[in-house]
Structure 1
Amino acid sequence: VVQTWHGTPLGRFGGCLADTLYADHQYLATLPRRSAQWSVLVSPSRFATPWLRRSLGYEGEVLEAGSPANDVLFPPDREKTAEEVRRGLGIPEDHRVVLYAPTYRDHLAQPPAASGDRAAPGPYRWDPALDPGALARALGPGHTVLVRRHPRVTGGVPAGPGVLDVSHHAGAARLLLIADVLVTDYAGLTFDFALTGRPMLFHTYDLEHYRDTVRGFCLDFETRAPGPLLVTTDEVAQALRDTGALAARHADAYESFRRDYCDLDDGGAAARVADRLLADAP
């Protein structure tokens, strides 16, 4: 049994949430039993390894291989794949693509549909503070705003000119291929998108609440963020009009972020996991 997890963590998770206001103690109590079933845990980065062990209560083998899901960001034919994704979504060739992908909020959890053992907490209510429609209108023609809800979040994304809901698109990494800029908040997708070298903006309207009350961070996010921390939709729109200057301003932070937290991904993660499995084959 191989646990590939889903990326390097930015917000605290698992057992490290036991002392927080919104901890799901029913779920946390199942973690030791779940992790005991794994033969090997695949870590996406050396930074993530101790966090995964501690937060998941895992004492077994860890394979520091990188994230297999991110291999799609590296092959020589990634441009061809990107063209296929754009064409499949109907995005004009000359459009600049803005991907808005926020994480969920623990305090917006909804009651589960049925009682019993759950694979993970949630679901959570879709209640974004950023208005994708207003953002698309502010950016004007020549832009497409892609909106991707976190998989644990339920609720519809309002349709509108220049806005496309890609919440059900298979594989977030394929969307990263076509995004010219990422707008997020505290999503672990930050580490994956950093592999592209493209600009990131952070909509951190509730930073103090998220940091001090809801979840907290696995790193000093305010110091290490590889892009500007913004509060309003207007600030995000203004920043998107001048990402070149912002990228230059945050170039050193971006590079150090990639060096310290994205050290294993190189396009060969899946092969390393396969090699590890084949090493045990009869």
Structure 2
Amino acid sequence: MLRIIKKVISACIRFVYRHTCRLIPVKQDAVLFLSFHGRGCTDNPKAIYDYMCKQDEFASYTFIWALRNKQPIPRGKCVRYNGPMYFYYLARCKYWVINCKLPDHIIKKENQVYLQTWHGTPLKKLAHDINVNEQTTFYRTKMNAEQMKSTYDRDVRRYDYMISPNPFCSKVFPGAFHIDPKRLIETGYPRNDFLSQCRFDKIRELKRRYGLPEDKKVILYAPTWRDNCYNSKGYTFTLQADFNRWKEVLGQEYIVLFKPHYLIVNTFDAEVLKGFLYPAEAASDINELYVMSDLLITDYSSVFFDYTILNRPVLFYMYDKDTYANDLRGFYFDLEEVLPGPIIESEDALLKAIVNHRFEMEKLPAFHKQFHVWEDGLASQRVVNTVFLRK
């Protein structure tokens, strides 16, 4: 009954929004920020917001953050994502700075500016680049491939700008999103300015704040979601990691920070692993997790594109590589050739690689040349100059 009531209220709010948004005048110096559908004040929108807060040109600007869980925002205001004030500020703000796909019912007026920052260099194929058979369905709504692609198309038509973080994305995005290359801002990712500029004293400060021991090395385990794993509550992920075994093998030297993709809803009891396993909050700034860690373990997540800016090792734990490549979305390039670390398909082999320091660091220089040529710590400045100052 409660779920039905919430759906009715949400439908009413959207109805009012659709019929009144064009009557609300646009405020020229107001910016709405949205990251991962309100899951946190994070990612590229956060980096752009932080930069603007430091610039005198934007001292009079109004900054609005849409979040699922309201929190104090320095120099800004927080509204509840999908609440009445969220829709009001969608209509009111001149600028939208967003890193995720917006639903169809959102209306962008001609005198508004939509900056789509996106949220990662793709390893997995996106949107129009996904080639599947006619029976394949996507998301919990089980839409077919054409319906899935049309959701991207409708959102892309609203973009005024989209960030391309490297030459690879400048080649991929026009085909995947069907976006005019002229709308791409070719620069590094604003969120990566932090990685390019981070100092050792900041890392020590973060470890103390997160309550991590300073006498252990830190493994960041950041797996992604699977398109075909979901239930009534959301996307699920059957964790192929026996953390008790990890603790037995690695516990003398390492601790583990666990940060799954935001679409993953699985939970587990970490109490027995206290002191070894540190689950990160969903709203955690992953950049902070990057700089605190000495080693990244991931699978098909795009996190390694950013992490390798730090010139630290990555292990790719791909226990279902063949299934993922053949039955789900597929990849943009040959994994063995491009990935800056070893691909590992069993848990025993993964633990042995860590113990024996088998990291293949020699692959990093070529990877930097292909994906990090624009990462100089000044991406936020370039994006703001382009979108807000028209320089």
TM (normalized to structure 2)? Answer: 0.64
1:119 aligns with none
SS of residue in 2 equivalent to 1:129: coil
2:201, 2:117 → 1: CA distance? 26
2:149, 2:231 → 1: CA distance? 17
Q: Report the CA distance between 1:34 and its aligned residue.
A: 0.3
1:61 aligns with 183
2:315, 2:269 → 1: CA distance? 22
2:322 corresponds, among 208, 227, 236, to 208
| Cα displacement string for residues 177-217 of structure 1 (whole angstroms, at most 9, x for unaligned residues) | 01100001111001111111111111111111111111111
Q: Report the CA distance between 1:81 and its aligned residue.
A: 2.5
1:12 corresponds, among 115, 125, 149, to 125
Contact 2:321/2:345, CA 8 A, preserved across alignment: no
Contact 2:187/2:382, CA 8 A, preserved across alignment: yes
Instruction: Answer 1 or 2: which has greater strand percent.
Output: 2
Q: Report the CA distance between 1:134 and its aligned residue.
A: 2.0
Whether 1:36 and 2:146 are equivalent positions in the alignment is no
2:258 aligns with 147
Q: Report the more deviating stretch, 218-227 or 184-193.
A: 218-227
1:81, 1:169 → 2: CA distance? 20
* Structure 1 unaligned blocks of 5 or more: 114-122
2:170, 2:132 → 1: CA distance? 21
2:247 aligns with 136
2:231, 2:373 → 1: CA distance? 36
* RCO higher in structure (CA 8 A, sep ≥6): 1
SS of residue in 2 equivalent to 1:10: coil
1:63, 1:22 → 2: CA distance? 32
Q: Report the CA distance between 1:22 and its aligned residue.
A: 4.5
SS of residue in 2 equivalent to 1:211: helix
Q: Report the CA distance between 1:18 and its aligned residue.
A: 4.7
1:167, 1:131 → 2: CA distance? 20
Which protein has the larger Cα radius of gyration, Structure 1 or Structure 2?
Answer: 2
Contact 1:132/1:147, CA 8 A, preserved across alignment: no
| Cα displacement string for residues 58-100 of structure 1 (whole angstroms, at most 9, x for unaligned residues) | 225101111111111121x532322222112111111100000
2:178, 2:205 → 1: CA distance? 41
Whether 1:218 and 2:336 are equivalent positions in the alignment is no
Q: Report the more deviating stretch, 83-92 or 199-208.
A: 83-92
Residue correspondence of structure 1 range 57-96 to structure 2 within 5 A: 57-59=178-180, 61-75=183-197, 77-96=198-217
2:305 aligns with 191
1:268 corresponds, among 356, 369, 378, to 378
Whether 1:164 and 2:164 are equivalent positions in the alignment is no
2:132, 2:346 → 1: CA distance? 30
| Cα displacement string for residues 111-152 of structure 1 (whole angstroms, at most 9, x for unaligned residues) | 4x6xxxxxxxxx410212122332122102342101101011
Letter in 1 for 2:260: R
1:271, 1:233 → 2: CA distance? 42
Identity %: 28
Letter in 1 for 2:389: A
2:8 aligns with none
1:193, 1:157 → 2: CA distance? 26
TM (normalized to structure 1)? Answer: 0.88
1:176 aligns with 290
* Structure 2 unaligned blocks of 5 or more: 1-113
1:120 aligns with none
1:103 aligns with 224
Contact 1:184/1:190, CA 8 A, preserved across alignment: yes
Contact 2:131/2:329, CA 8 A, preserved across alignment: no
1:128, 1:22 → 2: CA distance? 23
